[in-house]
Structure 1
Amino acid sequence: MNTPAVRLTDLRRVHRGVTALDGVRLDFARGSFTAVMGPSGSGKSTLLNCAAGIDRPTSGRVEIDGVPLDGLGERRLALLRRERVGFVFQAYNLIPSLTAAQNVALPLRLAGRRPSRAAVLDALERVGLRERAGHRPAQLSGGQQQRVALARALITRPAVLFGDEPTGALDTVTSREVLTLLRGLVDTAAQTVVMVTHDPVAASFADRVVFLVDGRVAGEMAAPAADAVAARLAGLEAVPC
């Protein structure tokens, strides 16, 4: 399909009198990995939440997998998010009393579907944790817990996977393992990934970096190198408001 996995058109979001997004226009191509960066308060998380259908924009349009979200009621929007969107946060948000396999199966169970054992194990296999299916979160390292959270996001085979600082709570080595895994999902499974990060090294795993300043797109960088990203970000942060 030639349509992007996500399309944002003239996106504007005003919350309590503050303009968090101001006319953002972006496409996220299928099978691509995009990092979103910018100074604190630039609108990164708001962009992610609107693009994922978690928050509704004040004006403008969001399309996921070719479906415009503005015409959907809450029930249909929730269904689309459940089936076509995956989300991974900095916090793993795993249920301590459930095994890795049970945590991965949870989104489908909450949707009233009975996931097959094979589908759950396949999701864990994709993140390299099939052999840990019976382990609870306390028996797993931080990186393994984040990979379980990633498998949980992938169980529905989403059109797009959003990550909000997904490696922010991990050490350097573990962070690179998770980023390598995300890169592999893009390269081998044509998964679309959109990730907010503050880390230039994390951004260097992406195909492109989109920079935001004051809720507006302030430029892009293709095939980003960590040092070039860091220099660009430092320049943006030095610009007076």
Structure 2
Amino acid sequence: MTTTAVRLTGLRRVHRDVTALDGVDLEFPRGSFTAVMGPSGSGKSTLLQCAAGLDRPTSGTVEIDGVRLEGLSERRLTLLRRDRIGFVFQAYNLVPSLTAAQNVALPLRLAGRRPSRADVRRALAEVGLEGRAGHRPGRMSGGQQQRVALARALITRPAVLFADEPTGALDTVTSREVLALLRGLVDREGQTIVMVTHDPVAASFADRAVLLVDGRVAGELTAPGAEQVAARLAGLEAVPC
């Protein structure tokens, strides 16, 4: 087992003559929390999609948990995403007719595996919802629904959890609660998290903030503070194209 959960080398992604990523080299250590930030159109979401195996890069390599993604068949890539990668997005994407416990168990059932009640309870307990297992999404707040989405992503014990604006649809208080939960997963469980965000306060919960501009890494901040991140972002957005 390596100390690196995700490694990106020379990553390029070109969409219809537009270069979204231009030679990105990044490593995400195991048990770390990284925020990916940058101006609109900087390549943040494309980086996340390529790193998570949702999109194939034009060139370069992606390695997750020691496995290189290039050359994998669609079936093997699907199995890798299912078993070793967790996803959380701004939209909770819960099934309204299922309870919290059933939503959490869904990835395992879709994989043809029978989830144990203990595993589902443990995943819900990790996000502070052990008492909500029988509730459907319509009876839950936005923050609780996002916690169920987190539990669903964690049920497979992924090598890395990718989060795309996970607090974008939440109010300030609830978003801080979810961010504190993510921080706790890193500190207590050694979970690796890569989070795209536009919020400097959200980035301040991470170990480091990686800054992108025009598809390239423009720098990074260690133990970033919200004001420090905001100032760097303002400086990047002020640079003429």
Give the TM-score of the pair, scaled to structure 2.
0.99
5+ residue gaps, structure 2, are: none
Q: Counterpart of 1:135 in 2: which secondary structure?
A: coil
Q: Is the 8 A contact 1:3 1:66 kept in 2?
A: no
Q: Deviations over 1:136-181 (max 9, x none)?
A: 0010000000000000000000000000000000001000000000
Q: Counterpart of 2:4 in 1: which secondary structure?
A: coil
Report what 1:97 is aligned to. Answer: 97
Query: How far did 1:3 drift?
Result: 3.5
Alignment RMSD: 0.6
Q: Deviations over 1:209-239 (max 9, x none)?
A: 0000000000000000000000000000111
Q: Deviations over 1:177-196 (max 9, x none)?
A: 00000000000000000000
Report what 1:40 is aligned to. Answer: 40
Query: How far did 1:71 drift?
Result: 2.1
Q: Deviations over 1:60-116 (max 9, x none)?
A: 000000100002100000000000000000000001000000000111111111111
Q: What does residue range 58-137 of structure 1 map to in structure 2 within 5 Å?
A: 58-137=58-137
Q: What amino acid is aligned across from residue 226 of structure 2 in structure 1?
A: A
Q: Answer yes or no: is 1:171 the counterpart of 2:171.
A: yes
Q: Could you tell me the percent identity over the aligned residues? A: 83
Q: Is the 8 A contact 1:34 1:208 kept in 2?
A: yes
5+ residue gaps, structure 1, are: none
Q: What amino acid is aligned across from residue 16 of structure 1 in structure 2?
A: R
Report the Cα distance in structure 1 between the residues aligned to 2:240 and 2:106, rounded to whole angstroms. 46
- Give the 4+ runs in structure 1 shifted more than 6 A: none
Give the TM-score of the pair, scaled to structure 1.
0.99
Q: Is the 8 A contact 2:2 2:66 kept in 1?
A: no
Report what 1:226 is aligned to. Answer: 226
Query: How far did 1:2 drift?
Result: 3.3
